[in-house]
Amino acid sequence: MRILRWITVAGILSFAAVAGAQFGEDANNGPKLAPDEVIERWQIGVSVKAAEGPCAGIQGSVALPGDWPEQETKVVVEDFSPFITHIDYRTVDNVKQVLVTIPELPAGEEAHALITFDISRHALLPPEDTTGLVKPNPKKLPKAMRHYLGPSTGIEIQHGKIKALARRLAQESADQTDWQKVESLFDWVRENVKQIDQQKQPGAIQAMRDKQSNHEGLCFLFIALCRASDVPARTVWVPKYCYPEFYLQDADGNGYWFPCQIAGTRSFGGINESRPIWQKGDNFRLPEAPRDPVRYIPPNLTGKGGNPHVEFVRKGLGR
């Protein structure tokens, strides 16, 4: 029997935040929820058809949208076909996955696991007063936060040129607040790296070297400069786009994640974004491949038998 190994990244589209205070009216120093709420319905899952002969031992996984301070998800329909004998869930870092088991799929038959969500999303407004926001002490960060200071694929913070640029920009903004120091990193990327529509293998070093990249390259370069400056930062993945967040604390030690619109219209510390959040982060280690970090958790399907028709579903059903 031929082994089927189908691994597909569902394009660069991309549960509660680790550490830090919640957004909203009570978080005086954090970003604020915009009053308007956008609700979209999405169907997410996988469909498999044994088009060229029987298949067996099929195991699949698909990442699901989760809850964040600016987003709430509600399951409205679960559609699991009879050939699926087991459904389970797990969380990798902060991303929830549905795990699907199909022991046997006869020739010509189809099996699917489809979950329909209502996703409620708010845009975020920057805080009114930023003077008391400071960088956290890296040694006091909880373990779950530390990888937001480390390297990721395409976010090469240990590269000498990234470190040198971060040091130079820190010296130029030495008399400013920590918020202004992060903003100087943000503005340097926007002013020195041209945004282009297409870029093969975008990354921090690529964007800095070529002085041009797509939205991913700009995002990764800003994140790299933040991390090289001891400011936690991460990638937020939404349909066909990603943007960065950075993390600062107030005088009481409460932490907040602040989003940025680094490509396109400038927005720092808040973002006018209503698309669903798929994932937050860029350095995930899956249990089945812990030595191979990925910056976005892809859907995955393995099994035995003839080549099936596989569709990883992520379909918007409207508002």
Name the nearest CA neighbour of 2 among 54, 48, 61, 60. Answer: 54
Angle formed at CA 51 by CA 48 and CA 57, multiple of 5 degrees: 50
> For the chain, how far is it from start to end, CA to CA, in angstroms?
45
Domain spans, the chain = 3-123+287-316, 127-280
Rounded Cα distance, 233 and 146, in Å: 10
The confidence score (pLDDT) of residue 319 equals 80
The confidence score (pLDDT) of residue 29 equals 83
The confidence score (pLDDT) of residue 144 equals 85
Contacts of 232 by beta carbon, 8 Å cutoff, 6+ apart: 136, 141, 145, 148, 149, 226, 246, 247
Coil vs helix vs strand at 131: coil
The confidence score (pLDDT) of residue 164 equals 97
Rounded Cα distance, 111 and 36, in Å: 39
Helices marked H in the chain — which ranges? 143-146, 160-172, 178-192, 204-210, 215-228
Q: Mean pLDDT, 10 residues at a time, over the chain (319 residues)?
A: 34 34 55 95 97 93 97 97 96 96 95 98 95 94 91 95 97 96 98 94 96 97 98 97 97 94 95 97 92 94 90 93
| Whole-structure pTM value | 0.90
Domain covering 127-280, topology: C8orf32 fold (3.10.620)
